[in-house]
Homo-oligomer: A and B are copies of this chain.
Amino acid sequence: MARTAGSHSDITGPRIEAAAARLIAQHGYAAVSMRQIAAEVGVQAGALYNYIPDKQSLLARLMVRHMEELLAAYDEPDGLNPLGQLEYFVKFHIDQNRERSDQVFIAYMELRNLTPENFAHVEQFRRQYEAKLERILTDGVTEQMFNIPDVKITTRALIAMLNGVNTWFQDAGPLSLHQVRALHWDIAYRAVIKT
Contacts and interface: CB of A to CB of B under 8 A. Distances in A.
A179 B153 CA distance: 10
B161 A26 contact: no
Contacts of A31: 30, 113
A161 B168 contact: no
Interface string A98-121: 000000000011001100000000
Interface stretch (A7-15, A35-43, A74-82, A186-194): A186-194
A154 interface: yes
Contacts of A187: 154, 157, 191
DSSP class of A's interface residues: helix, strand, loop or mixed? Answer: helix
Given A28-B113, A31-B113, A191-B191, A180 B167 contact: no
A150 B175 CA distance: 10
Contact of A183 (B112, B153, B160): B153
Contacts of A138: none
A-B pairs, 7 with minimum CB distance: A160-B164, A30-B30, A30-B31, A161-B161, A187-B191, A153-B183, A190-B190
Interface of A: 26-31, 108-109, 112-113, 149-150, 153-154, 156-161, 163-165, 167-168, 175, 179-180, 182-184, 186-187, 190-191, 195
